[in-house]
Amino acid sequence: MTAIAGADIVTGAISRSRPARIAARTGGGALRIFLVVVGLIWLVPTFGLLVESLRNPAQYANGGWWNAVAHPAQLTFSNYSALLKNHAITSSFLNTIEITVPATLAVVLIGAAAAYAFAWMDFPGRDWLFLIVVGLLVIPIQIALIPVVRLYSVLGISGSLYSLWIFHVAFGLPFAIFLLRNYFAGIPRDLIEAARMDGGSDLLIFRRIVMPLGLPAIASLGIFQFLWVWNDLLVALVFSNASTQPLTVALASQTRQFGNSIDILASGAFLSLIIPLGVFLAFQRFFVQGVLAGSVK
């Protein structure tokens, strides 16, 4: 890709007259500066949050975070050490992990099984059922809050981690099935048929052929679901209780008195974004693919 673009520039330069070339070059310079400025503007909010999280909260009243950039001596880790001693925050951080990891694994497993059935098994009403799943892709979670709250109280799991897992998995499934079924269906037919000829069961084909070959799509799904659950606020606001609430809910309650809890909010928000950010930077390719495919959600 880079090579192609490079070649383009070269041939373009040769075919152009000298004034055009100069114009292109200066125009390119302005373009580069513009893009750098835009990029910096996009970085400033997060950078400001980081600096604010490293300041003594008393200084918030005296001026914005940029003062600390001029005086780096003001920076301290005290907000973070206070955060790690704050039981409400640490336990909610652990809750976030406990909610996210099982909800991600379950959606991958259940979604992949269903996707395999939709892609490679024959059963009555298969195509109709799949269309229903596609239709459910855009259903807003808001519609389910009240009925599911009632359902959970009947089942006796209100406020539990189960209640959060079930909800996240269910609302992750339409996308999971949609994404994986389309990917699985692209697996060469010969592979599957050969395995069937050899007497391989569906379970075997699913585990030994479809799952390994579907790994890129599964990775996309996993990362997408991980970020979705990790970053969720609304579902947790409704279904978690004091002992199961994730970090987002614990911090959201602090935003009511924004100026007074800036130390917890800034450092807590940074704590909550650093893991998704790491996941995003490490697996950017899969994440982008997930977003591309999930743009209907």
Partner 1 sequence: MAQDSGEPVSQAELAGSPVLLAETPAAPARRQRARIPLAPGEVRWLALPFLAPALVLLGAILLYPLIYSIVRSLFADGPAGGFGSFAGLRNYGSIFTDSSTLRAVENNLLWLVVVPTIVTILGLIFAVLTERIRWATAFKTVLFMPMAISALASGITFALIYADQPSRGLANTITVGIHDAFGSSSAYPTVFSNDAAAYSGSASAGYTTKSTFAPGSPALLPLTGLNLQSPPPDARQAAMPSAARGVYGVVWNDFRLGGGGTAGKIDPRELGLPGIQVQAIRGSQVVATTTADAHGGFVFPGLTSGRYQLRLPAANFAAAFGGVSWLGPNLITPAIMIAYLWIYAGFAMVLLAAGMSAISRDALEAARMDGATEWQVFRRITVPLLAPVLTVVFVTLIINVLKVFDIVFIIGQSAGANQKYSDVLAVSLYNAFGNQQYGLASAIGVILVLAVIPMMVVNIRRSRKEQR
Residue 159 pairs in a beta bridge with 240
Task: Quickly tell me which residue has 């809050």 as its tokens.
Answer: 145
Query: 95 vs 289, which CB is nearer to partner 1?
Result: 289
CB of 87 to partner 1, least distance (A): 20
Residue 240 pairs in a beta bridge with 159
Q: Supply 158's token pair.
A: 């209100």
Which among 21, 184, 164 is positioned nearest to 97, based on CA atoms?
A: 164
Task: Quickly tell me which residue has 């005290």 as its tokens.
Answer: 78
**DSSP assignment of 197-220, as one string?**
HTT--HHHHIIIIIHHHTHHHHHH
Q: Report the alpha-carbon distance of residue 170 to residue 143 in Å, rounded.
A: 13
In one letter, which amino acid is 30?
A
CB of 200 to partner 1, least distance (A): 13
CB of 213 to partner 1, least distance (A): 10
Q: Are 118 and 177 in contact (CB under 8 A)?
A: yes
CB of 26 to partner 1, least distance (A): 15
Task: Quickly tell me which residue has 């994986």 as its tokens.
Answer: 180
Q: Supply 168's token pair.
A: 């996240």
CB of 81 to partner 1, least distance (A): 20
Q: Report the alpha-carbon distance of residue 287 to residue 267 in Å, rounded.
A: 25
| Residue 6 CA neighbour count, 13 Å, CB half | 3
* CB-based contacts of 97, cutoff 8 Å, min separation 6: none
Sign of the CA dihedral running 168, 170, 171, 176: positive
CB of 22 to partner 1, least distance (A): 16
CB of 230 to partner 1, least distance (A): 7
CB of 24 to partner 1, least distance (A): 10
Query: 135 vs 242, which CB is nearer to partner 1?
Result: 135
Task: Give, in order, the Cα–Cα distances in Å from 25 to each of 18, 30, 34, 39.
Answer: 10, 9, 14, 21
- Chain centre to alpha carbon of residue 245: 19
Query: 131 vs 243, which CB is nearer to partner 1?
Result: 131
Q: Angle at Cα 255 formed by Cα 252 and Cα 256, nearest 5°?
A: 115
